Chain A
Amino acid sequence: MLLVEDNPTDVFVIKEVLEGCGPGLDVHLVTNGHAALLYVQELDRDENAPCPALVLLDLNLPKVTGIEVFRALRSSSRCSGIPVIVVTSSSAQTDRYAAQQLGAEGYFQKPTELTAYMELAVLIKRILGDKEEP
Chain B
Amino acid sequence: MSVVASPSEAGEAEVRRLRTLYQLLAGLIQARALEDVYNAALTSLLDATSADRAAILLFDDDGVIRFKASRGLSLEYEAAVTGHSPWPKGTLHAVPIVVPDVRLNESLAAFRKVLDQEGIRALAFVPLALDDGVFGKFVLYFAEPNECTTDELEIAQAIAAHVALATRQKRNITERKQLENASRHLAAIVESSDDAIISKDLNGLITSWNNGAERIFGYTAAEVLGHPVSILAAPGHHNEMPEILAQIKQGHRVEHYETRRRRKDGQIIDVALTVSPVRDAAGQIVGASKVARDISALKLAEQERALLLAREQEARRTAELLNSVGPRLVAQLDLEKLVQEVTDIATALVGAEVGSFLHNAINEKGESRTLYTLSGIPWEAFEGLPMPRNTDLFASTFRGEGEVRCDDVTQDPRYGKNSPCYGLPKERLPVRSYLAAPVISRSGEVLGGLFFGHSAPAKFTETHAAIITGIAAQAAIAMDNARLFEQAQWVQKELKRSNEELRRANSDLEVFAYSASHDLHEPLRTISISAQIIERSLGHQLQGEDAIFLANIQSASDRMHALLEDLLAYTKATKYEEGAAPSVDAGHVLQDVLKSLRGMIEESGATVTAGELPIVAMHESRLAQLFQNLISNAIKYRSREVPRVHIEADQRDGWCIFSVDDNGIGIEPQFAEQIFGLFKRLHGRDEYPGSGIGLAICQRVVEQYGGRIWLEQSAPGRGSTFSFALPSRPQ
Question: Residues on A close to B: CB < 8 A?
Answer: 7, 9-10, 12-13, 60, 89-90, 92, 110, 112-114, 117
Contacts and interface: CB of A to CB of B under 8 A. Distances in A.
Contacts of B530: 9
A109 to B, nearest CB: 11
Interface in B500-520: 514, 518
A9 B518 CA distance: 17
Contacts of A12: 533
Contact of A9 (B521, B529, B536, B558): B529
A61 to B, nearest CB: 13
Interface of B: 514, 518, 521-522, 524-526, 528-530, 532-533, 536, 558, 561
Contact of A113 (B514, B521, B522, B532): B532
Contacts of B528: 112-113
Contacts of A90: 518
Main SS of chain B's interface residues?
helix
B533 A89 contact: no
A92 B514 CA distance: 8
Contact of A89 (B525, B532, B536, B558): B525
Given A7-B526, A114-B532, A117-B529, A89 B518 contact: yes
A20 to B, nearest CB: 14
18 contacts: A9-B526, A9-B533, A10-B529, A12-B533, A13-B529, A13-B533, A60-B518, A89-B522, A90-B518, A92-B518, A110-B525, A112-B525, A112-B529, A112-B561, A113-B528, A114-B532, A114-B536, A117-B529
Contacts of B536: 114
Nearest to B526: A9
Contacts of A13: 529, 533
Nearest to B528: A112
B510 to A, nearest CB: 11
Contacts of B529: 9-10, 13, 112, 114, 117
B315 to A, nearest CB: 77
Q: Which of A9, A113, A117 has the most CB of B within 10 A?
A: A9
A90 B515 CA distance: 10
A77 B625 CA distance: 52
B673 to A, nearest CB: 36
A89 B526 CA distance: 11
B538 to A, nearest CB: 14
Contacts of A113: 528, 532
Nearest to A13: B529
Q: Which of A10, A113, A114 has the most CB of B within 10 A?
A: A114
B490 to A, nearest CB: 39
Given A13-B533, A113-B528, 14 more contacts: A7-B522, A7-B526, A9-B529, A9-B533, A10-B529, A13-B529, A60-B518, A89-B522, A90-B518, A92-B518, A110-B525, A112-B529, A114-B529, A114-B536
B697 to A, nearest CB: 21
A89 B524 CA distance: 11
A15 to B, nearest CB: 12
A112 B527 CA distance: 9
A60 B517 CA distance: 14
B561 A114 contact: no
Contacts of B526: 7, 9-10
